[in-house]
Homo-oligomer: A and B are copies of this chain.
Amino acid sequence: MSALQFPEAPSDKKALEEGTAFSPRFDAAGLVTAVVTDAEDGKLLMVAHMNAEALALTLETGIAHYWSRSRNALWKKGETSGNVQTVVEMLTDCDQDSIWLRVKVLGHDATCHTGRRSCFYRTVGLNDGKAVLADDGSRPLFDAGETYRKPV
């Protein structure tokens, strides 16, 4: 558990948008959105969520932690795959309900659980009145099946 606490967001809009107090606006589920880019070339790697504990641990350790909504658990990214994210810079937005992490990815330099560098590997377009996806050709950088294999 981290001892770091975050203050309540101020009701004053000017204080929230122009002030120096970090008062993240967690949603009803206690989460903020986290956008993660590569600090070197700016590539968008993933979108995830953080609760107060994940946010505090990320600030204190310099290693990205998230809240896994599917597993309902604190998630130290890369714990299994080795693809740990070290935080180069953290920013927040005007109304403090989103976090931007600029990171360096260790291990295979891959962020997506499919093995690809980024979770965003498909473009969305219209074809004959239907929205369809096209793969951008990104290849896996590690063997996801092997890495995440559950012990028998």
Residues of A within 8 A of B (CB): 4, 6, 17-22, 33, 35, 37, 41-44, 46-47, 56, 59-60, 89-95, 98-100, 112-114, 119-126, 129, 131-136
Contacts and interface: CB of A to CB of B under 8 A. Distances in A.
A22 B133 contact: yes
Nearest to A123: B91
A20 B132 CA distance: 6
A59 B91 contact: no
B20 A134 contact: yes
A32 B6 CA distance: 26
A58 to B, nearest CB: 9
Contact of A133 (B4, B21, B114): B21
Given A19-B133, A44-B44, 20 more contacts: A4-B126, A20-B132, A20-B133, A22-B131, A22-B132, A35-B44, A42-B43, A44-B100, A47-B93, A59-B124, A59-B126, A91-B120, A91-B121, A91-B122, A91-B136, A92-B124, A93-B120, A94-B112, A95-B119, A99-B124
B100 A120 contact: yes
Contact of A131 (B4, B98, B122): B4
